[in-house]
Amino acid sequence: MSNSPFLSSCTADTIRDAAAALRAGHLVAFPTETVYGLGADARNPTAVKRIYEVKGRPSDHPLIVHISSINQLGKWASEIPDYAITLGRNFWPGPMTLILKRTDMAEDFITGAQDTVGLRVPSDPIALALIQEFEKISNSAIAAPSANRFGQVSPTSSSDVYEELGEFLANSDIVLNGGNSSIGIESTIIDCTGSFPTILRPGYVTKEEIYLKLGIQCEESSTQSPIRFSGSFEKHYAPNCKVILGEFVLNGAGLLALEEVETPENMIRLGSPKTLEDFARVLYSTFRRADRQGLASIVVHPPKDIGIGVAIIERLKKAEQGR
Ligand code: TXA
Ligand code: MG
């Protein structure tokens, strides 16, 4: 796999080449601190169309536009409330996506024809370098969903991306190799189009942290939300094996549980995270390991429902419904 023409380790030269490939309308998968993204020029409808084809994703499902700094916000978003600026100043670069009213820069093919756009400044240094380089040579930014087939588990390494999408990518596309994603689950998505912020998808940046740090109270989304966001489809984040959430003993099943939990006889220990942060980091790679080992099911002991545990449980519940 390391001989694949798609996979490049990241030097200043490869980042420049990757930015040029985006400019030429090709796709570039790149690491972020959350999960790997499948990037295209956010102003190029043909390139963006390929993202949907490669992912097998319905085209009305909007994409996050990745920008290099909060200074780019006004280019893509309008009617930005003060609390959104405060959120951006305090949590960017980082694992947070803000949904805002769009400007003409974000066209229907990015937003799924909604009048809002999702924006994020990732903190991963390779992601930031790529976005900066691309912004330098274009008047654009990088549209990128997670680099997995629709409904599948998000990739947290370049080899995961290759496994998911290799057969659908073209020779001129690139997968940048930046090691393992440090957070491991997708960004917190916050709707900033109302008079107060609403969390649409929980993530590493939590409601509690936002309140403690900034005194800003976020609502949590109701499932009736009129806007389309991740996980609004039943099947999501799902491996091929069956995910069973709870402290069950099941012969021959895989097991993911905190380190202190002992492995029952005849279960196959796949992961032993020490903390909630570890749990998030290993979650998707553990799902992939279960599939690679051909297991029929994986039992996951749910983590505590606090901090990033909320986001982990949300993903686990969706994965449980998955198959
Ligand atoms: O951490 C992340 O957010 C990763 C990395 C690559 O940045 N990206 C990611 O993208 O998870 P994706 O497309 O797999 O999930 C983003 C979700 C989508 O389900 C999409 O529906 C939602 O964000 N979204 C994007 N723009 C939106 C908008 N204008 N309104 C509501 N939801 C939006
Ligand atoms: Mg996704």
Which atom of ligand 1 lies nearest, measured to the CA of 61? 21
CA–CA separation, 174 and 120 (whole Å): 21
User: Residues of 218-256 as b/e, b for ≥16 C-beta within 10 angstroms?
Assistant: beebeeeeebebbbeeeebbbbbbbbbbeeeebeebbbb
CA 114 to chain centre: 20
Which atom of ligand 1 lies nearest, measured to the CA of 95? 1
| φ, ψ for residue 182, nearest 5 deg | -75, -25
The token duo for 169 is: 């990518």
**pLDDT per position as a tens digit, 43-61:** 999 999 999 999 999 988 9
Helix (H) or strand (E) holding 101: strand 96-102
Query: Is 63's pLDDT higher than 60?
Result: yes
- 35 ligand 1 Cβ < 6 A: yes
Tell me what percent of the chain is helix, strand and coil, each rounded to the nearest 5.
35, 20, 50
With the most atoms of ligand 1 within 8 angstroms of its CB, the residue from 189, 190, 205 to mutate is: 189
Q: What is the DSSP string of 176-204?
A: EE--S-SS-SPPEEEE-SSSS-EEEE--S
**Span 112-117, mean pLDDT?**
96
- 101 ligand 1 Cβ < 6 A: no
Q: Between the CA of residue 59 and those of 43, 118, 256, 299, what are the distances in Å?
A: 16, 15, 34, 34
261 CA from centroid of ligand 2 (Å): 30
Nearest ligand to the C-alpha atom of residue 36: 1
Nearest ligand to the C-alpha atom of residue 229: 1
CA–CA separation, 271 and 287 (whole Å): 10
- 286 ligand 1 Cβ < 6 A: no
- 218 ligand 1 Cβ < 6 A: no
Q: What is the pLDDT of residue 10?
A: 81
CB 282 within 8 A of CB 152: no
Question: Could you tell me which of 100, 101, 96 has the C-alpha nearest to residue 122?
Answer: 96
User: Residues of 180-214 as b/e, b for ≥16 C-beta within 10 angstroms?
Assistant: ebbbbbbbbbbbbbeeebbbbbbbbbbbeebeeee
- 96 ligand 1 Cβ < 6 A: no
pTM for the whole structure: 0.95
Question: How would residue 7 be classed by pLDDT, with cut points 50, 70 and 90?
Answer: low
Question: How would residue 323 be classed by pLDDT, with cut points 50, 70 and 90?
Answer: low
**pLDDT per position as a tens digit, 196-230:** 999 999 999 999 999 999 999 999 886 544 455 54
**Span 139-153, mean pLDDT?**
96
Q: Between the CA of residue 185 and those of 208, 247, 293, what are the distances in Å?
A: 18, 22, 22
145 CA from centroid of ligand 2 (Å): 6
Query: Which residue's structure tokens are 């099941």?
Result: 250
Which atom of ligand 1 lies nearest, measured to the CA of 63? 25
Nearest ligand to the C-alpha atom of residue 111: 1
Nearest ligand to the C-alpha atom of residue 237: 2
- 37 ligand 1 Cβ < 6 A: yes
Query: Is 2's pLDDT higher than 60?
Result: no
Averaged pLDDT of the chain = 93
- 61 ligand 1 Cβ < 6 A: yes
Question: Could you tell me which of 242, 259, 253 has the C-alpha nearest to residue 321?
Answer: 242
> Which residues does 215 contact at the CB level (< 8 Å), separation at least 6?
none
Question: How would residue 321 be classed by pLDDT, with cut points 50, 70 and 90?
Answer: confident
Which residues pair with residue 102 across a beta bridge?
77
With the most atoms of ligand 1 within 8 angstroms of its CB, the residue from 36, 229, 284, 314 to mutate is: 229
Which atom of ligand 1 lies nearest, measured to the CA of 38? 6
Which residues pair with residue 40 across a beta bridge?
143
- 197 ligand 1 Cβ < 6 A: no
